[in-house]
Structure 1
């Protein structure tokens, strides 16, 4: 382990972004392990590697005592003073114990452990990179599909798209490029595990941020999103500039912006509504595309009674109650919908 070895470490540092110090620490630990395995494990040993020449030296740490009972762990005061007259009882003396053929044994022992540590360090680098990208969109390529779990190649590593995060009815094929949302990055014994999603509402949020410059610039804000992935999404937006129409900004010229998002989500319907501080107005807006005649709110129970024209009742409720359900999620209020006739009868 001479200068060539140090050069190799410098190459690893440059190519893989792994600090030499991490490798030296790993190597020193490996060499201690190698020494104990081959020359006895009862000594307290330290290994020092010269960081320029690559020379390796092994030192036994011995306690200075009056009477030596264990030569491996202790040294007499008389012997210690031969090394340095300043030593006193209970001091620790380092005595070089490097065996003649230790270089060969060290190289064999260290290689495997160093490779393992390099692997761990690479995993740590990947973890640090991706943990900062939680809640972001990334584009990857479907590498393989196993037991309905989709493994996505993200470049330096692989992400997992579990069945619970897939869009029902969406077809996935090996080799397809796919936009996914990073839900969570966690450490495991096999390295970082990156959980991806196609069904998370955050995916819609990030797609709007990519497509709508006014959102990127902070002029238009997304207040809330409710989503039933693969079917329909409602998104509530508002503008900080009274001259900018938030819905128009999100829809784009001739619907170009929202179309790009709908295409990315394979035809999922998207309702864009205006958020309002006035809860009656916001609830009415949330039921788009249905018209609303009246909203009566109960602040204490956070519930609202919404009255719609008779011919719009089924539109307001939606297929299997979806429109009403998404509106309730978007506003975080309980919503009861009645037609004008039903409302009149109840009086």
Structure 2
């Protein structure tokens, strides 16, 4: 990244790396093993100003530029994908509230989330609804004093501990978002455990059994749930995931280089074997290329130009596939150590696969990017 980052970005990158190694990495293995995030991790993130760091300062956030936010996601993702996911989810909800919420909603939730006193979760996915967010089946029906929510959400990150949920519903045929507090009568929260990866993300399913909300709980106007609330938030999550995937791949690269230099077989370090060199060569090249794609997306997001959506899609698509390939090669290079709990490589391998699924699957990204190639490059 030499010559690409400015002085402030370079300085912050170093501070993000130090914070991640000192405050997050010591808890990463336990987060995976216990399938929970330690409270001190959230407190540390909040104290450092890393919750809501990308939210504009006028709303109490950190006002961090897009590239710096990407570098933060890179470093946190390098040591713990579950923690990176927490930062992303909190920012997704906060950005939605800033963008489309009321003054009352901003006053009620932004401060507590930024300080770590409250946790927010983003509830779109349902048992039968994944990448096609517009197909949500949870309903909001007009009733005296507001609306009644009925339906089922699933795979909701940090749903186990969230104090408030940003819920996408179908209200009189139009996609509409609501803020629903955890203690709302009729809302049941059921933990989901034993996933392949990102096990510290504390997923839950939510059952809405005639949950009453008021008109004041609606985020944005009726029908704005996807265009003004869901899609921008998902874009931020996709951007964070892209950078976090590069961080994971970087961790696999660093561990593999070190292990290959130390591990001796047939009288020589395995780093001297040509096939191992090939894996290391592919890994370092892929990681460098994916990081540049993420930087390009970050610059585009910061400028707000018309290509930011597609550049973010390309960054997330390529970075997640690079992370999975890097993790696979890292397991091979580490051998038995790579599939044991003695090394973070085993955890990275499982987490990397999840990155190809969340915030839009690899195949969905390929389809959208392929459809837009002509527009992007003005092919007649």
Provide TM-score, normalisation by structure 2: 0.22
Greater C-alpha radius of gyration: 1
Larger helix fraction of residues: 2
Provide TM-score, normalisation by structure 1: 0.24
